[in-house]
Structure 1
Amino acid sequence: MLEVMIDNKNGNIWDIADLVSNVTWKTSRIGKAGSLDFTFVKGAIYQNKDFRIENGDIVRVRKDGMNVFYGYVFKIDSGQDEDVKVTAYDQLRYLLFNDTLIFSAKTASEIVQMIARKYNLKTGQLDESNYVIPTMAEDNTKLMDMICKALDLTLVSTGRIYVLFDDFGQMALRDVTTMLLDFSLGEGGLMTDYSFSRSIDNETYNRIELVRAGKEPEDRVRGLEDPGNIAKWGRLQLHQKVDDGLNEAQINERLSNLLKLKNREQKTLSIEEIGNVRVRAGCLAPVFIESLGLSQFMLVEECVHKFEGDDHTMSLEMKVF
């Protein structure tokens, strides 16, 4: 059973589950707020004459007693017909404005905490990311992009993936290994369709170059490459600037980690399944598809849940390691 509540922030809380249709909940692992889109019929027979919905109202959604979405109305569309279309976003929407901030010797977890504290955002579980970023000077940059940069630096330095998301009204930062689903997707679950893609067109590199701008010319560039894959695919080069304060050992470690992450085909798997609200972007899931020879853990990159009457389906974009 789907529960949809509207809080007008004036003491009125409305249960509109019987009025809504075509509910869509979307989450993304990187750089986006969670969103909820739904339609309701204005002036419906069961609608209270005092019911109103305004931008800024709180939207709460639960499914079979499980928390799904907590956010705020950002868009209301209506016309001559009786349908009203509403778009709401979770708290991460308030990270999509620009600021100028400087961070020194902070972990990604600390950066999330500092931003949340400065902008009065609610936080929940924040896993400690441990890697200390020497400096991050961000000028006129989206807050979300600052956090994503900190998480990227943590990934290339430690190999560990963290995901930022809104956990029913509280901003959470989790190591993806703690978000392991205890059930299978694909043929081990309730899959109805799939598609599989392999590409070297985006985010595949077989030579990595790191540049330290403040050094002497002979010390500026350090490189690492895979000659075998260069012969196979041609030269695909990633050229990045790094902090001048990194020593040789740190530079070599970053080169090794980047080549390990980037020197491979980028594989994506799209799955259509019967819905389960425990699945959201950032989860790790065991996936089994015999015809592809796949039996491994994969990361949910994008997740779209659709609720139409008693039907609940989900569309997943999976990252294949």
Structure 2
Amino acid sequence: MTISKFIIKRRTTNDSWDVRSLVLPPKWTTDTTYEAGELSFELLMIDNTFIPQMGDAVYFGWNGNNVFMGYIFSAEYSKDNKTISCVAYDKLRYLKNQDSIVWPVSTLSQRFERVTKAAGITHKVVNNSTYKLKTEVADQKTYFEMLQTGIENVLSATGTRYYIRDNYGTVELLKAQQTQTDLILGDASLLTDFNYTQSIDQSANTVKVIREDKHSKKRKVVTYDEKTKKKKTKTETTSWTTTTVKHADSADHIKQWGRLQIVEKADNDMNDAQMLTKAKQLLREKNKISQTLKVTAIGLLGIRAGTSFYFRSQELKTFGFGQKLVFPTKVTHTFDPNDWTMDIEVLI
């Protein structure tokens, strides 16, 4: 295992430097939570023959495989250690650019195409999305924020998870299902350590969706019980406004956890049926235990953020793990020729 490529190239000229003999073990981090891929590395300073500049392109390969292509965004010079510590980001970094866009009814794929073109980055729609997103005003938002809104709305409406990644210089839109693998991490298979956490701190078992009407003095409350699948309606008189409320809850989890309630404001043009559908959607998303799994394992290039794999642990059978498909949201590879490791955070 070795660094097979580490080239730094000046974007304004044709000058380039092969710095494989100067670089210490680099770290490569990929993240599906709307952060750019990052390569952090240190260069030995020898006779000041080469000093990287902001914006220099970085090309990194490992064992003959192209791994990272990006640009230097920061450098720290240490006289004592005689090193230069650099951080380079892939092209997803340019999705932090801000813009103001009035979105018409359009698909996630169409919005992805538009913002990547506006950011001036090479891109590809690997998996097309046909779900129509409603009109929206995105004022002084980053391209990441615009895509995040679209991705979350598609997931909520269709159950299909999309994500974006940089594939060695090409930014791609993919379905999570597209990058699912048969790889197994766990007992006797690459795993060296793990940490598993459960929490209901951000959960909710009661959801209210509210629509206000200032021209009336009545409030309609519609309650939906997930257990009985029954809906109950009552009307209340108030002194200030008419508020239509759609309410969904889980009786079993209220009994087990206590009442954990959130409130969502509905658009003025939402009818009662749409409000109830929204309440049910939010309840499905929030009415569950949050599970966090952090894994340390022997390095494998087939695993990066967004590439699903199977996790297996006899110790976690009590929590429902025998063998479970997991979605890594963040992966950090440390490319030490003597000890290549990866730290993984997964969504369960």
The letter for the 2-side match of 1:162 is Y
Secondary structure of the equivalent of 1:254? helix
Query: Residues 331 and 343 of structure 2 are in contact (CA less than 8 Å); yes or no, is this contact kept in structure 1?
Result: yes
Distance 2:129 2:268 in 1: 22
Corresponding residue for residue 280 of structure 1? 304
Corresponding residue for residue 291 of structure 2? 267
Distance 1:188 1:260, change over 3 A: farther
Distance 1:240 1:229 in 2: 20
The letter for the 1-side match of 2:167 is D
Give the alignment's Cα RMSD to 1 decimal: 2.0
Distance 1:209 1:303, change over 3 A: same
Corresponding residue for residue 240 of structure 2? none
Corresponding residue for residue 29 of structure 1? 32
Corresponding residue for residue 131 of structure 1? 131
Query: Residues 246 and 272 of structure 2 are in contact (CA less than 8 Å); yes or no, is this contact kept in structure 1?
Result: no
Partner residue of 1:7 out of 3, 6, 9: 9
Partner residue of 2:279 out of 224, 243, 255: 255
Corresponding residue for residue 63 of structure 1? 62
Aligned length: 315
Query: Residues 133 and 153 of structure 1 are in contact (CA less than 8 Å); yes or no, is this contact kept in structure 2?
Result: yes
Query: How much does 1:318 deviate?
Result: 1.2
Secondary structure of the equivalent of 2:327? strand
The letter for the 1-side match of 2:326 is M
Residue 310, structure 1, aligned to residue 338, structure 2: yes
Corresponding residue for residue 22 of structure 2? 19
Residue correspondence of structure 1 range 144-183 to structure 2 within 5 A? 144-183=144-183
Distance 1:316 1:18, change over 3 A: same
The letter for the 2-side match of 1:268 is T
Query: How much does 1:68 deviate?
Result: 1.4
Query: Residues 209 and 264 of structure 2 are in contact (CA less than 8 Å); yes or no, is this contact kept in structure 1?
Result: yes
Distance 1:175 1:121 in 2: 20
Corresponding residue for residue 76 of structure 1? 75
Query: Residues 67 and 168 of structure 1 are in contact (CA less than 8 Å); yes or no, is this contact kept in structure 2?
Result: yes
Residue 236, structure 1, aligned to residue 264, structure 2: no
Which deviations, in whole Å up to 9, do the C-alpha atoms of 1:162-196 show, x marking residues without a partner?
11111111111111011112311122620001111
Query: Residues 109 and 125 of structure 2 are in contact (CA less than 8 Å); yes or no, is this contact kept in structure 1?
Result: no
Query: Residues 97 and 119 of structure 2 are in contact (CA less than 8 Å); yes or no, is this contact kept in structure 1?
Result: no
Identical counterparts, % of pairs:
28
The letter for the 1-side match of 2:61 is R
The letter for the 2-side match of 1:304 is T
Corresponding residue for residue 143 of structure 1? 143
Distance 1:97 1:237, change over 3 A: farther
Which deviations, in whole Å up to 9, do the C-alpha atoms of 1:263-283 show, x marking residues without a partner?
111011111000112211112
Corresponding residue for residue 325 of structure 2? 297
TM-score by length of 2: 0.85
The letter for the 2-side match of 1:5 is I
Gaps of at least 5 residues in structure 1 are: none
Secondary structure of the equivalent of 1:268? strand
The letter for the 2-side match of 1:22 is P
